[in-house]
Structure 1
């Protein structure tokens, strides 16, 4: 059993600072300790999602730094420069998902992100799934502008710019360390990948890269820079051999000793040969900077570590030169982003959307349902429910004024509203797949939880086998009927197979964009006073034997309180309770279209 070295932890302003992770002064400027073991420091970040500027705790623009602001590449630059000077034997690594999340990406594409991360002087980066949000060609243009290596061993592309820039691994000769990259193979289903780019099994490709490095070079210290997710990193570590450290991203996992941490920093897993693999990741948006030092033996195995994430709060100053550039870039969209659309009496929570019902997910689903109901009221085309993927809800909206910038930050993808039609029987299978995380039509994994509109109650038993978890579905208290048709309002991304909730189809017409639909809803219903409702709930019951008709024991929809404009009742409000919402002017539409480019 390899031991962990322990140095005193320092605290500044009540937050843990990673001064216990590096060497004692005796070893601070040396590659080799007195026992002949190699020491090197790794600084890392992941899932910044275009948060170039510092931000409030919700992930939105920092309006009052004195109340607490986090992250921002100007702050990160200051800290990394300090660390690299203090501990010169280091590698500074980026685990991907620089794209998508704020107006810096929506307005500028990858241009300002490339300029910023070049300024940070990363040693290497792997690619996240969101790097493909603009497609292969846009990603290729972005990568050609970077000044450091990009690694991902399981991405194979015939697109010239991607083929030229993406390497399986990079060897840092000064440190005799190889850094392999890997990207989540779910990327084609959750981003905009072209048919000339393929994603292979990362376990097989990482192991091939390890063997190639050991057989064809004299390097035996091997690191994996991963955008697979925390659970997947642990599985890969256990299924391979030869890796000492995995620096991860994708799952936005908080590791460390702080409140709400999901695991240890580092998390330690034994590989196929029984050697310890240290796994680290640094949450999201640049709120934390990961920092870990490893001691390697002659065979490249990690012997010991010192490590802790550093909280990027106000105790670290902003680099003035970089911050000046970022503020100048932000001025181009400041007025548009600052437009107040309405207000909310409650914090529209995002963080729990992948775990169950969440307030912002419910408000968005309600907005989509109401939008389509307004268009079809009084006809036989009225919708029955709206369904969105939880992964598309990106940041909470604070209590008080709601700005256009907050809406675009919460829903940045520019997805369009569409409507799909299913028989009751097929809709039941869709929902069974959603609660089982396995699509019941193609037996493939579903990669996101979901949120539904009011009036819908879905009960499921998580203890049952996948495919047999759905207990009951009601619409306004009436059990789902296998023999009738249901209209589902959703997103073009999901209809096209994104997250695999639905079987991919192109048989739909696109309507307004998701952010504009939410904007219309806010303007019409301000102030919002939503309460979290029980819509998708766990149950210890078993599925009804009479699944195709009325269920005498079906639960009535229980929404946990009145929602905005619902008049205290579930389902579509009557005509007097609905507000007709006009389409936006062509000028505003053109502005939104520009931001989505």
Structure 2
């Protein structure tokens, strides 16, 4: 929109649409796609500036299509709509191998803006740019900066270096704002860090568009002179920002934010079939037999099963740990006798979860064992931390138990309080929510392999690979 004020000052409105944390919830994508294409067409017809941004975690390998294409299918969706720039979330950054992440955006029609991820040599990866400049037809220059959450241990394990996101953005803001009329930040840091960034940069950043913590700001928030916007999670909402730029003053003089509930958007023809067709494509891509299963292996949330026993053996074989502990809720079904395909494994263990070994003294291990007996845990509805199931389920212990005399046994031998033991578990337990002591304990993450890869590798060794 263009308008002349009483002082004949030319003002112009810039329209921005944004998505974040879709997590491959493609059931909402057809509505988002058509809405954004329609809005772009309207603004183009009116001669108005319009830009589309994604703030990361568009992909999630819990969806079989994303897993089968290693996220490249997600990139094609962003291309189709015509996004102008994106940044990455932790699901792009740490659920792919370095080679897969480097190849993810090979066919992207947009830049990947990222200021805080580097190679081991400290160089900017070739698939990213530290900042982007967009120029409207009227000559307004928009600078973009972006950063992703600091999962430093995971990134380092994969061979990347990650800098503190907020410090990287605070350093970039003065430089980029000197070359811009408007400065926008794409932040996959989380809501509290977005607020701190706005406070620390003291109005240098006109807009921070946030993600990562799945927060929703229906009308945006003002932190000092910065507008902070966010559109929730899973494609439930599309964000819209309107910036009024005063050409005479060469600055933004008005900023508003809103969100569009995708449940209220027009329903396209492929609204119901889109996700189904993607899953059919994934079934084709993941149809190859991985191993031959000699007997049916049923799962269960109540306690140990032959399936959990096989997985425990796989964990110990893969990590070389002394004992293992994990929750039975990770198994979303069982494995039939006969050919087991990549799709079967994905259905069983869809979680983007890595194995981890935690080093504990015998005393600490006993404390963790006692904590894991909490009778309320099996029924907990667990969301996040990489878990893509429903209930926590009973805790499974392998190589660790109570003896008849009440002493803790590790591999059949009484645990010594001061001796060091290596416990194989899942990375979701290292964040301190269930076992607070694990957060500070020495840990070794096994990456980029997921727990389904660990099970498959062990099953191939134990049962044999299918004939080629």
Matching of residue 211 in structure 1 with residue 174 in structure 2: yes
Matching of residue 266 in structure 1 with residue 220 in structure 2: yes
Matching of residue 277 in structure 1 with residue 229 in structure 2: no
Contact 1:139-1:162 within 8 A present in 2 as well? no
Structure 2 CA distance, aligned partners of 1:281 and 1:43? Answer: 11
Unaligned runs of 5+ in 1: 1-28, 55-70, 257-264, 271-275, 345-362, 399-403, 432-446, 457-474, 520-582, 592-597
Matching of residue 83 in structure 1 with residue 39 in structure 2: yes
Structure 2 CA distance, aligned partners of 1:105 and 1:382? Answer: 34
Alignment partner of 2:263 out of 293, 309, 313? 313
Kindly report which structure 2 residues correspond to 1:421-432, keeping only aligned pairs within 5 A, or say none.
422-427=360-365
Unaligned runs of 5+ in 2: 288-296, 315-320, 334-342, 370-383, 397-401, 409-414, 433-437
What displacement does 1:408 show? 4.1
1:48 aligned counterpart, secondary structure: coil
Aligned to 2:426: 491
1:286-312: CA deviation from partner (whole Å, max 9, x where unpaired): 221111212245666654333321111
2:15 aligned counterpart, secondary structure: strand
Structure 1 CA distance, aligned partners of 2:425 and 2:80? Answer: 40
Using a 3 Å threshold, how does the CA distance of structure 1 residues 454 and 412 change in structure 2: closer, same or farther? closer
Aligned to 2:207: 245
Matching of residue 386 in structure 1 with residue 326 in structure 2: yes
Alignment partner of 2:24 out of 50, 63, 66? 50
Kindly report which structure 2 residues correspond to 1:409-428, keeping only aligned pairs within 5 A, or say none.
411-413=350-352, 415-416=354-355, 422-427=360-365
Using a 3 Å threshold, how does the CA distance of structure 1 residues 123 and 588 change in structure 2: closer, same or farther? farther
Structure 2 CA distance, aligned partners of 1:151 and 1:309? Answer: 23
Alignment partner of 1:371 out of 304, 309, 313? 309
Kindly report which structure 2 residues correspond to 1:522-541, keeping only aligned pairs within 5 A, or say none.
none
What displacement does 1:279 show? 1.0
Structure 2 CA distance, aligned partners of 1:152 and 1:412? Answer: 26
Structure 2 CA distance, aligned partners of 1:512 and 1:89? Answer: 43
1:370-418: CA deviation from partner (whole Å, max 9, x where unpaired): 5379869xxxx99685379xxx98xx989xxxxx7897497432635x6
What displacement does 1:240 show? 1.4
Matching of residue 180 in structure 1 with residue 162 in structure 2: no
Structure 2 CA distance, aligned partners of 1:368 and 1:208? Answer: 54
Structure 2 CA distance, aligned partners of 1:386 and 1:454? Answer: 9
Kindly report which structure 2 residues correspond to 1:445-484, keeping only aligned pairs within 5 A, or say none.
454=394, 483=417
Using a 3 Å threshold, how does the CA distance of structure 1 residues 224 and 429 change in structure 2: closer, same or farther? farther
Aligned to 2:116: 154
Structure 2 CA distance, aligned partners of 1:230 and 1:143? Answer: 27
1:334-374: CA deviation from partner (whole Å, max 9, x where unpaired): 4889xxx9899xxxxxxxxxxxxxxxxxx599789953798
Structure 1 CA distance, aligned partners of 2:2 and 2:272? Answer: 33
Structure 2 CA distance, aligned partners of 1:405 and 1:375? Answer: 20
Aligned to 1:230: 191
Structure 2 CA distance, aligned partners of 1:406 and 1:313? Answer: 32
Alignment partner of 2:282 out of 324, 333, 346? 333
Structure 2 CA distance, aligned partners of 1:222 and 1:267? Answer: 17
1:181 aligned counterpart, secondary structure: strand
Structure 1 CA distance, aligned partners of 2:117 and 2:245? Answer: 29
1:201-235: CA deviation from partner (whole Å, max 9, x where unpaired): 333322332221233x2x23111011111111111
Using a 3 Å threshold, how does the CA distance of structure 1 residues 110 and 426 change in structure 2: closer, same or farther? same
In the superposition, the TM-score normalised over structure 1's length comes to 0.53
Aligned to 1:200: 163
